[in-house]
């Protein structure tokens, strides 16, 4: 059981406010595979929030993933906006902005990573392939 499973999903959820246990939770637990590129993207965002490096590794395409996935512990992820989701049966595109904060007090900073991520289908499952960063 993931801590906070009954609370709202960190990804914001579809519909908004849906609990983690009914959104990205089963994907992070390995109980099911996210059915769409957007669902993969949301589950990966949630994995960054809860620092589930295994899920990030698992959903990353074998041809592009690093040998080891490490989540930067200095960033706190505070919200996700999915700006666009599209594609066809084999390739998907999800554009999003992921908001973060770091530090405390006077050195507290905030920002957002905006990315257009590409997803590809392999053996019936969607994987994150790579991303084009479109500014901070």
Count of beta carbons in the 10 Å neighbourhood of residue 95: 18
Which strands sit side by side in the sheet containing 125-133, from one edge to the other? 75-87, 91-102, 109-122, 125-133
Supply the DSSP string of 17-30, one letter for each residue: T-BGGGTTHHHHTT
Nearer residue to Zn ion within complex by CB, 24 or 40: 24
The least CB distance from residue 69 to Zn ion, in Å, is 19
When binding is defined by CB under 5 A, the residue of 9, 39, 40, 94 that contacts Zn ion is 9
Among 34, 37, 39, 42, binds Zn ion (CB under 5 A): 42
23 touching Zn ion, by CB under 5 A: yes
Q: In the complex, which residues of this chain contact Zn ion (CB under 5 A)?
A: 9, 11, 23-24, 42
């Amino acid at each position: 059981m993931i801590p906070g499973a009954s609370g709202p999903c960190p990804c914001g959820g579809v519909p908004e406010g849906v609990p983690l246990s009914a959104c990205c939770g089963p994907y992070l637990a390995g109980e099911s595979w996210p059915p769409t590129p957007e669902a993969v993207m949301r589950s990966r965002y949630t994995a960054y929030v809860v620092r589930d490096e295994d899920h990030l590794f698992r959903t990353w395409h074998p041809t592009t993933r690093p040998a080891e996935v490490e989540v930067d512990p200095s960033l706190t992820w505070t919200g996700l906006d999915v700006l666009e989701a599209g594609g066809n049966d084999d390739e998907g595109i999800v554009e999003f902005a992921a908001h973060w904060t770091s530090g405390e007090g006077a050195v507290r900073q905030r920002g957002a990573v905006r990315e257009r991520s590409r997803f590809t289908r392999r053996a019936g499952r969607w994987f994150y392939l790579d991303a084009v960063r479109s500014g901070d």
